[in-house]
Amino acid sequence: MCYSAQIQADYHVYRRLWGVEAVSLEQFVQLYWSPDKSRAARTPRALDAAFARGDSETERRIAARIRELAAAREAELQQELFRQSRRVADAERALQTRVTKKAQEDLRIGSGKVGQLRARLADLHRSTPNAQDSRIYPGWYAPVMIQRDGVRSLVPMRYQCRPPAVPAGFDRKFPGTYNARRDSLDGFWKPLFGYRHAVIVADAFYENVARHDAEHRPLREGESPENLVLEFRPRDRRPMLVACLYAHWKRGDEELWSFAAITDEPPPEVAAAGHDRCIVPIRAENLDAWLNPDPHDPAAQYAILDDRDRPYYEHSLAA
CATH number for the domain that contains residue 231: 3.90.1680.10
Do residue 280 and residue 162 come from a single domain?
A: yes
Cα gap 192→246, rounded to integer Å: 7
Do residue 178 and residue 278 come from a single domain?
A: yes
Do residue 103 and residue 228 come from a single domain?
A: no
Residue that terminates a domain, selected from 110, 130, 150:
130
φ, ψ dihedrals at 77, nearest 5°: -65, -40
Do residue 180 and residue 311 come from a single domain?
A: yes
Do residue 147 and residue 89 come from a single domain?
A: no
Residues 6+ apart with CB under 8 A from 114: 81, 84, 85, 88
Do residue 160 and residue 288 come from a single domain?
A: yes
For 222, half-sphere exposure in the C-beta direction (CA atoms, 13 angstrom radius) is 0
Domains held by the chain: number: 2
Do residue 201 and residue 167 come from a single domain?
A: yes
Residue of 222 and 303 predicted with greater confidence: 303
Domain membership flag for residue 38: no
Residue of 255 and 35 predicted with greater confidence: 255
Do residue 204 and residue 284 come from a single domain?
A: yes
Residue that terminates a domain, selected from 105, 130, 155:
130
- Summarize the confidence of residues 148-169 as an average pLDDT: 93
Domain membership flag for residue 35: no
Cα gap 276→130, rounded to integer Å: 29
Do residue 295 and residue 216 come from a single domain?
A: yes
Q: Is the pLDDT of residue 1 over 80?
A: no
Structural domain containing residue 112 = 43-130
Do residue 94 and residue 199 come from a single domain?
A: no
Please report, in angstroms and rounded to a whole number, the separation of the first and last CA atoms in the chain: 19
Residue that terminates a domain, selected from 96, 130, 164:
130
Over the stretch 113-155, which tens digit does the pLDDT of each residue have? Answer: 999 999 999 999 998 888 889 999 999 999 999 999 999 999 9
Mean pLDDT for all residues in the chain: 93
Over the stretch 179-196, which tens digit does the pLDDT of each residue have? Answer: 999 999 999 999 999 999
Q: Is 32 helix (H, G, I), strand (E, B) or coil?
A: helix
